[in-house]
Amino acid sequence: MRGERANALRAASTAHELARGLLTGCAMTSEQASKSGFDEQRPGTPAWAWTVALQDVPRWDLPPGPLTVVAPHPDDETLGAGGVIALAARRGQAVTIVAVTDGEAAPVHMDALAQLRLREQERALEALGAKEAHIVRLELPDGEVTARTDALSTALELLVPPGTTLLAPWRHDGHPDHEACARAAERAAETAGARLYRYPIWAWHHRGPEHLPWPRLRRMDLPDWAAAAKRRAVACYESQLRPPKDPPVVPPHVEAHFHRPFEVFIA
């Protein structure tokens, strides 16, 4: 591993390549990731390294028209696309959040967890300036979305008018619910004529640059006010960041991936 990384570093001629060289070997291989899932408590790929590696990604801006964000669990919409939600709301674009599950299966011991997470989501959207966002709650069982991919796809087709920009998780994100949402969104976008962009969540933690489809990456630089709004929105998810009796579901080294002054989507 050490020799491999040294070779990559020697070959690097720009900061971009240097970061990719540093990242080589940080993440699990695809095989490890698909076999064992991932462990959010291990250090994973460092956030700073992604920030450098992603600096040359082509810039992207949210097209006009309605925006729909598919959130497998309350927090995914904010972590993956909070900045874009804030921009859409400020520009007066209609924002819909499809809340697929209530997140009741998160490994934390807290009373009425689902209700708590729904309130956190509402507060996060308010922090993003998107209090008026339409939240569609599908109430699928947390952790069991895979078995309901077809039904979810049909629901999304009905919820997404043509010309919508649809943001959904990436199909290689490593969490079964995220990947099921990705497959359903891909099908629905094609049928409904929506523009689909995927947002990684867990992939930033347990994947490395060799796993990303670089030509399809698009980067949205966030104005300072939107980055600040996203920071406040992320902080609303206390149950995931600072549960009183359990290790955090989103530990600081994972949360750090979502405090970049930009968001990255996969076309």
Q: How far apart are CA 250 and CA 261, in angstroms?
A: 19
Q: How far is the CB of 77 from Zn ion (least distance, A)?
A: 10
Based on the number of CB atoms within 10 Å of its own CB, is 131 exposed (0-12), middle (13-18) or buried (19 or more)? Answer: exposed
Interaction of residue 66 with Zn ion, rule CB under 5 A: no
Contact residue for Zn ion among 20, 73, 206, 207 (CB under 5 A): 73
Contact residue for Zn ion among 44, 72, 82, 174 (CB under 5 A): 72
Contact residue for Zn ion among 67, 76, 82, 206 (CB under 5 A): 76
SS3 213: coil
Q: How far is the CB of 223 from Zn ion (least distance, A)?
A: 26
Q: How far apart are CA 66 and CA 162, in angstroms?
A: 9
H-helix segments, the chain: 2-11, 15-23, 30-36, 47-53, 76-90, 113-127, 149-159, 176-192, 203-206, 224-235, 238-241, 252-255
User: Is 217 within 8 Å of 205 (Cβ atoms)?
Assistant: no
The stretch among 74-82, 144-152, 219-227, 228-236 that binds Zn ion (CB under 5 A) is 74-82
Q: Which residue, 76 or 120, has its beta carbon nearer to Zn ion? A: 76
Q: Which residue, 19 or 236, has its beta carbon nearer to Zn ion? A: 236
**Closest CB to Zn ion belongs to which residue?**
73
Q: How far is the CB of 131 from Zn ion (least distance, A)?
A: 22
Q: How far is the CB of 202 from Zn ion (least distance, A)?
A: 8
Neighbour-count burial for 140-157, b at 16+ CB within 10 Å, e otherwise: bebbebeebbeebbebbb
The backbone torsions φ and ψ at residue 215, rounded to the nearest 5 degrees and listed phi first, read -60, -20
Q: How far is the CB of 124 from Zn ion (least distance, A)?
A: 14
Provide the binding-site residues for Zn ion, judged by CB under 5 A.
72-73, 76
